[in-house]
């Protein structure tokens, strides 16, 4: 019997699979704080494995296992949006999205200016609006509660204002912008469960979509107060001015692995 026949490759395979899974998880995280949490959790898991396998410390092993379990429950609550998105991808068979490169589609400077101008004019007119910017999530009809009406129209300020006019049938839904074009209107988004008593329907829809899809932004204009907001990765920055919106869009769409994270401000009205 040669040494090749006696060599047990299972530990090496186990280590390779665990390393690959860890690299995959760390590579999919774009938010710095989330990355820190995941690193800490993976460190605890590795520590628990080392204690159980190489140290005869029953009490320490139990304590570390209890700590890992408590952290797992806490992360399940904090990352419920990401976990729900994972289950949706697995359930719809779109597993390839987990391994695909997260590209960030470029939004032309002219498009940013038009979106900013449209949001400013909607704000001045106290006309509610919700604009979804797909910058890398490759959103599909099944990602929405209702995919709305397909348009595939050239992006323009006048068209956006007309779509959100109060006497039009599509004004209550969202407008989807993909590849510098208006892809659809009247889109119904999934709602978030955070801030149910503080936010209006448009803001909950913006939070709900950005919780599930990191590669999209949502511009929200409140119908009651005209407040402009921007949602990204389940966070909402409000109230902001048109110039501030322009700066945030420019920073978020800048080349690089991540855009600027938004800070959560205290809401002041329903949207």
If asked whether residues 130 and 230 sit together in one domain, one would say: yes
Give the structural domain span for 148: 109-252
If asked whether residues 119 and 34 sit together in one domain, one would say: no
If asked whether residues 50 and 119 sit together in one domain, one would say: no
- Domain with residue 208: its CATH number is 3.40.1700.10
- Name the burial class of residue 102, with classes exposed (0-12), middle (13-18) and buried (19+) by CB atoms within 10 angstroms of its CB: middle
Is there a domain that residue 84 lies in? no
How does pLDDT run along the chain (271 residues), one tens digit per residue?
Answer: 565 556 667 777 877 887 887 777 666 666 667 778 888 888 888 888 888 888 778 888 888 889 888 988 888 877 766 676 677 667 766 666 555 555 555 667 788 999 999 999 999 999 999 999 998 777 888 889 899 999 999 999 999 999 999 888 888 899 999 988 999 999 999 888 776 777 889 999 999 998 888 788 999 999 999 999 999 888 899 899 999 999 998 887 765 444 444 544 544 444 5
Q: Name the domain boundary from 78, 101, 117.
A: 78
Please give the tally of structural domains in the chain: 2
Closest CA to 178 of 200, 202, 147: 147
Which residue has 């899974």 as its token pair? 21
Q: Does the model's pTM come out above 0.75?
A: no
Closest CA to 180 of 252, 85, 106: 106
Which residue has 């599909």 as its token pair? 140
Q: What Rg do the C-alpha atoms of the chain give, in angstroms? A: 22
Is there a domain that residue 100 lies in? no
> Under DSSP, is residue 174 helix (H, G, I), strand (E, B) or coil?
strand
């Amino acid at each position: 019997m040669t040494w090749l026949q006696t060599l047990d490759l299972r530990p090496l395979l186990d280590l390779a699979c665990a390393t690959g899974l860890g690299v995959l998880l760390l590579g999919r995280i774009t938010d710095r704080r989330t990355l820190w949490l995941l690193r800490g959790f993976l460190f605890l898991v590795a520590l628990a494995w080392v204690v159980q396998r190489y140290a005869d410390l029953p009490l320490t092993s139990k304590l570390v296992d209890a700590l890992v379990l408590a952290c797992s429950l806490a992360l399940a609550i904090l990352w419920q949006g990401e976990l729900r998105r994972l289950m949706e991808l697995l359930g719809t068979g779109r597993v390839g999205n987990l391994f695909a490169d997260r590209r960030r589609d470029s939004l032309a400077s002219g498009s940013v200016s038009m979106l900013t101008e449209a949001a400013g004019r909607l704000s001045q007119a106290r006309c509610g609006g919700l604009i979804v910017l797909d910058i890398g999530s490759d959103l599909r009809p099944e990602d929405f509660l209702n995919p709305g009406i397909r348009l595939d129209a050239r992006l323009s300020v006048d068209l956006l204002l007309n779509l959100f006019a109060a006497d039009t049938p599509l004004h209550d839904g969202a407008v989807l912008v993909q590849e510098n074009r208006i892809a659809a209107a009247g889109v119904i988004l999934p709602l978030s469960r955070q801030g149910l008593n503080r936010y209006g329907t448009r803001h909950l829809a913006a939070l709900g979509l950005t919780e599930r899809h990191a590669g999209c932004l949502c511009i929200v204009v409140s119908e009651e107060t005209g407040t402009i907001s921007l949602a990204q990765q389940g966070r909402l920055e409000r109230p902001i001015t048109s110039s501030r919106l322009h700066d945030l869009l420019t920073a978020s769409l800048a080349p690089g692995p991540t855009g600027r994270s938004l800070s959560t401000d205290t809401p002041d009205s329903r949207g």
